[in-house]
Amino acid sequence: MIATTLGWGRNALLWILCLGVALASWRFMVGGVEATMGFVAYHAQMRPIAFFAHVVLAPVALALVPFQLWQGLRQRRPVIHRAIGRTYGIAILISGAGGLWLAITTEAGLVAALGFGLLAMSWLGTTMWGISLAMRGDRAAHRRWMIRSIALTLAAVTLRIYIPLSMALDIPFPTAYPAIAWLCWVPNLVVAEIILRWPKARRLAIA
């Protein structure tokens, strides 16, 4: 009973966070980049292709996460699972390349550039490797690598939790931001590894 309630709560939270952050990320479509994400508006002016490829398509990947983790859909509608998986992969291929370029060119400093840059390469690597395993029919390894990919996609959510948290704790933005460029994804990967290695955690985490 408690496990079922926890499962529902966790699933609801996942849907709300993924869809909520994805929708909020598209706010520039309504209000414009300058007004809604002023601190990265320089990217939009200097490298519009990389910027818009990233901010349009990365939220697509994030919005698709709860669909791909939905066990019922995976089991009952494998054709839909594969179609969403291809869309997830293409969205990450393009937005990850854009994200890598934004990381290399960020004005947030070397530590942030390295954090985001390594995240972009890991995101591209885990996702492409995971999809290639599915195409070769290795479903167990495909699952493992897609869990790592999803942990990295969820960096978009953790980043947007840590930024307001750092503000609430009165940590100056120039100090907090480079640290968050690492904190938004390294702990996510550690949690993914725990889920992968500890069967009880896996049963709780994957619906």
Q: Which of 14, 17, 53, 62 binds ligand HEM (CB under 6 A)?
A: 62
Q: How far is the CB of 106 from ligand HEM (least distance, A)?
A: 3
Contact characters 80-119, ligand HEM, x per CB under 6 A: -------------------x--xx--x-x-------x--x
Binding region for ligand HEM (CB under 6 A) out of 1-9, 80-88, 125-133, 149-157: 149-157
Distance in angstroms (rounded) separating the CA atoms of residues 203 and 197: 11
Q: Which is nearer to ligand HEM, 133 or 155 (CB)?
A: 155
**Buried/exposed code over 156-182 (b: 16+ C-beta within 10 A; e: otherwise):** bbbbbebeeebeeeeeeeeebbbebbb
Site map for ligand HEM, 126-145, x if CB under 6 A?
A: --------------------
Q: How far is the CB of 65 from ligand HEM (least distance, A)?
A: 9
DSSP conformation letters of 50-97: HHHHHHHHHHHHHHHHHHHH-HHHHHH-HHHHHHHHHHHHHHHHHHHH
Total chain residues near ligand HEM (CB under 6 A)? 25
Nearer of residues 19 and 207 to ligand HEM, judged by Cβ:
19
Residue 55 binds ligand HEM, judged by CB under 6 A: yes
Out of 59, 66, 85, 89, the residue judged to bind ligand HEM by CB under 6 A: 59
Q: How far apart are CA 45 and CA 206, in angstroms?
A: 41
Query: Using alpha carbons only, how large is the chain's radius of gyration in Å?
Result: 17
Q: Any idea how long the chain is?
A: 207
Residue with tokens 């697509």: 60
CB-nearer residue toward ligand HEM: 6 or 29? 29
Query: DSSP code of 119?
Result: H
Q: Show the tokens assigned to 11.
A: 């699933």
Which listed residue (70, 123, 145, 162) binds ligand HEM by CB under 6 A? 123
Q: How far apart are CA 160 and CA 138, in angstroms?
A: 34
Q: Are the beta carbons of 55 and 28 closer than 8 angstroms?
A: yes
Separation between Cα atoms, residue 16 and residue 191, nearest integer Å = 20
**What is the binding site for ligand HEM (CB under 6 A)?**
21-22, 25, 37, 40, 43, 54-55, 58-59, 61-62, 99, 102-103, 106, 108, 116, 119-120, 123, 152-153, 155-156
